[in-house]
Every structure is written in structure tokens, then in C-alpha cells.
Structure 1
Amino acid sequence: MATAVKVDEDAKSRLEELQAEIRLQTGSKVTQQELLTRLIDDAYESRDDVIDSFRESTVPLSEDEKKTMRRGRISSGVETDESDIDDVLYG
């Protein structure tokens, strides 16, 4: 069962460009429905990235966020270098 999905002209144009590029580079003719299905399948596999793309950006941090991070820091009195971190992470 096919259902119509409305997209703006820019998205439609980019879909058509991608469709044409697939045909040029692979010689395979794909329908827009096949292409959208593949894109959705790929996005579903990396859904956390897709979901994160809709979050408000937190970079750069606001001054309040920086202050909050600084409040949580403590000094252990031990200096740490890259090899120490590698030992902890990789054994």
C-alpha cells in the first residue's frame, strides 16, 4: 500500500539528484519509493543519530552550563597523562 508524503521543493529536488546520481554511478535505475525506503531503513539503523539531529544544539555551552560543569570538577591531586588514560581504557 503506497501512501503519499508531501515534501518541499528543495527536498524533492535533492531526492531527484540522488536518484540520478545512483543511476549514473551504478547503472541501476531506482524509483523514488525504493530510494526513500532505503534511506528510511538506513536512518532506522542509526536512529539515535537521527533523533539527536532534532535536538537543540548545546554547543557552544552557555556561561551557566560552563559554571555548572566547573562546579562538578574536583582535583584528585594526581596528574594524568595520555598513557594513564590508555591503561585505564585498554588495559
Structure 2
Amino acid sequence: MATSVKMDDDTKSRLERLQAEIRLETGSRVTQQEILARLVERAIESKADLIDSFREERVPLAEADRERFHDEMVSSGVTTTEDDIDDILYG
């Protein structure tokens, strides 16, 4: 049983372009339904990335603020290894 999916014109156009590219690259005709099914299948494999893409940034910073933060970082002169971090965190 097929169900309709509403999408804006830009998304529909991008889906159509993807469909055309698949046909050009593979020589196979695929339906938009097949493309969407494959995209959902792959999204489930990397579900955490998909979910994270819907999160709001917690601390939105302007690029200038990010640069100022990094500019003010200084090296302590001490090299820290992964073992050092493990010892600090886990004892």
C-alpha cells in the first residue's frame, strides 16, 4: 500500500535530479519511491547522525567569537597522552 508524502517544490526537484543521475550513472530506471526507501534504510544505519541533524545548536557562536576563543588558547607545554586522560578519568 503506497502512501503520499508531501514535500516542497525544491525537495521534489532535487529528488527528480537524483533520480536522473542514478539513471545516467547506472543505466537503471528507479522510482522515487525506491530512492526514498533506500535513503530511509541508510538513514536507519546511521540513525544517531540523522537525529543529531535535527538538534538545535546549544551555544550558537558567531565565527568571530569562535576565532577569538581559539586565538586565546595557549599551550601549557605539557604533553598529555590518552593514558594520562584515562588515569585522570578512571583512576
Cα shift readout 1:5-58 (whole Å, capped 9, x = no counterpart): 100000000000000000001111100000000001011111110100000124
1:66 matched to which residue of 2? none
1:80 aligned onto 2:79: yes
What code does the residue aligned with 2:79 have?
A: T
C-alpha separation between the residues in 2 aligned to 1:57 and 1:10?
A: 25
1:27 matched to which residue of 2? 27
C-alpha separation between the residues in 2 aligned to 1:37 and 1:47?
A: 15
58 and 21 in structure 1: CA distance in 2 versus 1, 3 angstrom threshold = same
C-alpha separation between the residues in 1 aligned to 2:12 and 2:25?
A: 20
Percent identity between matched residues is: 64
User: Could you tell me the TM-score, scaled by structure 1's length?
Assistant: 0.67
C-alpha separation between the residues in 2 aligned to 1:27 and 1:19?
A: 11
Spell out the pairing of 1:48-67 with structure 2 (5 A cutoff). Answer: 48-58=48-58, 60=60
1:37 matched to which residue of 2? 37
| Runs of 5+ unmatched residues, structure 1 | 63-78
C-alpha separation between the residues in 2 aligned to 1:12 and 1:80?
A: 52
Structural RMSD (CA): 2.5
Using the TM superposition, give the Cα deviation of residue 60 of structure 1 relative to its aligned residue in structure 2, in angstroms: 4.8
C-alpha separation between the residues in 2 aligned to 1:13 and 1:55?
A: 26
